[in-house]
Amino acid sequence: MENQEQQVVSMPRIGDPAPEFKAVTTQGDINFPADYKGKWSILFSHPADFTPVCTSEFMTFAHLEKQFNAANCELIGLSIDGLYSHIAWLRTIKEKIEYKGMKDIEVTFPLIEDIKMDVAKKYGMIQPNEDSTKAVRAVFFIDPKGIIRTIIYYPLSLGRNFDELYRVLLALKTADEFGIATPADWRPGDDVIIGPAGSCGTAQERMDDSNIDCKDWFFCTKKLDKDEVLSKVLSK
């Protein structure tokens, strides 16, 4: 019972400030989230260095890093391995591993060493019924003010979908920028959701607006141009 309570207490939630920590990484020391103020960041954990699913994920994330950076988002990895293991693994990836057309992949984003599990525990990345000595595949999206905006957890056996992580980033930024919500499977260029009309006047305006499609009083969508979305969300 005591263990269960401790786990619940240490699970950050959407809307919480990202728990603070200082750590050693493959790119030097970081002070999180202070060092990332003004930027989006994705803090993600993986179970262990020198494992195949993690290797496929790191290669894919490193391959896509510039795309995330162009959306003002930095990547930060973590596992419960030491710095020298991280360095050796990343060197092996660069020198030896070819996967799905990706080769000579250099991981230039920081990978945190967390041998004592200090950070992993703060972020609820240790889920003992899955594994008590490895972090699960957690993904935290943190906004420029240091607030956790989305959390996704995957088990050890399931490699992440990085298109989906990019889609989540763009959807969060679009919702902030345009004051809308995004429907199932939304991608830039698709219609977005607007809130219910507040008065008879606005309800009538909506009915007259050819950009707005109300399927019922509680479910209205409007067109939002792909270029307008991308120019706004990729610029900040």
Query: Could you list the active site residues?
Result: 54
Compute the distance between CA of residue 224 and CA of residue 203 in angstroms, rounded to an integer.
19
Shorter beta-carbon distance to ligand BEZ: residue 47 or 146: 47
Contacts of 217 (CB under 8 A, 6+ apart): 196, 197, 203
Residue 53 binds ligand BEZ (CB under 6 A): yes
Segment lying near ligand BEZ (by CB under 6 A), choices 27-35, 50-58, 122-130, 213-221: 50-58
Do strands 73-79 and 111-113 pair parallel, antiparallel, or not at all (unpaired)? parallel
At closest approach, how far in Å is the CB of 142 from ligand BEZ?
24
Shorter beta-carbon distance to ligand BEZ: residue 86 or 134: 134
Contacts of ligand BEZ in 4-43 (CB under 6 A): none
H/E segment holding residue 139: strand 137-142
Contacts of ligand BEZ in 93-152 (CB under 6 A): 134
* β-pair partners for 151: 140
Q: Specify the amino acid at residue 84.
A: Y
* β-pair partners for 137: 154
At closest approach, how far in Å is the CB of 137 from ligand BEZ?
8
**Helix, strand, coil percentages for the chain (3-state, nearest 5):** 35, 25, 40
Select from 7, 26, 51, 69 the one that contacts ligand BEZ (CB under 6 A). Answer: 51
Burial code (b: 16+ CB inside 10 Å, e: under 16) for 92-127 equals: ebeeebeeeeeeebebebbbbbbeebebbbbbbbbb
Shorter beta-carbon distance to ligand BEZ: residue 18 or 111: 111
Helix axis angle, 162-178 to 226-233, nearest 10°: 90
Segment lying near ligand BEZ (by CB under 6 A), choices 6-14, 28-36, 48-56, 175-183: 48-56
Compute the distance between CA of residue 122 and CA of residue 1 in angstroms, rounded to an integer.
19
Segment lying near ligand BEZ (by CB under 6 A), choices 44-52, 92-100, 178-186, 190-198: 44-52
Shorter beta-carbon distance to ligand BEZ: residue 51 or 69: 51
Q: Give the position of tokens 């008590």.
A: 132
At closest approach, how far in Å is the CB of 93 from ligand BEZ?
13
At closest approach, how far in Å is the CB of 60 from ligand BEZ?
13
Query: How many residues lie near ligand BEZ (CB under 6 A)?
Result: 9
At closest approach, how far in Å is the CB of 235 from ligand BEZ?
36
Contacts of ligand BEZ in 165-224 (CB under 6 A): none
> Which positions touch ligand BEZ (CB under 6 A)?
47-48, 51-54, 134, 156-157
